[in-house]
Structure 1
């Protein structure tokens, strides 16, 4: 993707933000549109993770769940993690956050587009230099912590994966939180 194509996609997303439902992101393959906005269980999971992290992290760090996105224009990638662990000082300024300032990105798997979290973001976050990626999957009551970026013939990838199931404690960077009482998607 060249710079012109990326700018065109970015402008398209900005023009669609209030027009179409769902979330837009830009990957190496183009625009990802999750048609279905997050449901209550997704949002509750995100809120509980944020609260639990902020109880154990130093005050100058934030488990941020809002906007803006993280973006690397030269890579042609714009992503929006559900929770971003970032220093308050790195949130100053205008525009997207520099992904290399994130301590970790945390995502709650979307019921309607799980491959976005389990495949595309697993590929894109190391390219962005995000050192730690944590996935919570309410479909299965499990997740994974991905870390240790290393170079491969097809680009940077996470070398280490630690799986967990809901009910276990999970360590994200230097902080351990409980996964007890995280909601699951209903099986219907």
Structure 2
């Protein structure tokens, strides 16, 4: 008897079971559901005012400096790597329009950058979990904006470590500064803070 790829990889079967569960729960559970190596992450609160305004302003600022054919996309779908057992949904995905012409989830390796606006209800997901998962998925740039504190970081240069791929470079910033993301520079002025 020949083993199927799923029979050879129990972690793939586990991931597919988690993925099915997320699909069934997504419309009834408040907030956002994602899958990591550790299991399902549930960000309880749906994004509100300052979170969504930050995403809109950062997206617009990025699109003003990027060449035609690239988008700072704030919609669906997720990014997913079944082999790694990870499904994430960045607040903003910098991606070529051509790489969006797919059915289902985006290939995370097609992303130029992932941008997260830190959630008030689960900040560790953005500062720790995604800092681990995005280099694992091959996303070369990760930007974090934290409306709780008015600070952020640009992470880049994926390298191998004993714990898996990690970002080698982290450039912290304070709201109000100009920041460089790859080849582009944008302002972080007038980004809202949580109250």
For normalisation by structure 1, the TM-score amounts to: 0.97
Query: What secondary structure is seen at the aligned counterpart in 2 of 1:2?
Result: helix
* 1:86-130 alpha-carbon deviations (Å, 9 max, x no partner): 000000110110100100000000000000000000000000000
How many angstroms does 1:78 deviate by?
A: 0.2
How many angstroms does 1:59 deviate by?
A: 1.3
Residue 71 (structure 2) aligns with: 62
Structure number with bigger Rg = 2
Matches within 5 A, 1:1-188: 2-186=11-195
How many angstroms does 1:53 deviate by?
A: 0.6
* 1:115-169 alpha-carbon deviations (Å, 9 max, x no partner): 0000000000000000000000001101000001000011100000000000000
Count of aligned positions = 186
Q: Runs of 5+ in structure 1 lacking a partner? A: none
Q: Runs of 5+ in structure 2 lacking a partner? A: 1-9
CA distance in 1, matches of 2:138, 2:99: 15
For normalisation by structure 2, the TM-score amounts to: 0.94
CA distance in 1, matches of 2:157, 2:27: 37
CA distance in 2, matches of 1:17, 1:31: 12
Structure 1 residue ranges (4+ consecutive) displaced by more than 4 angstroms after TM superposition: none
RMSD of Structure 2 on Structure 1 (CA): 0.7
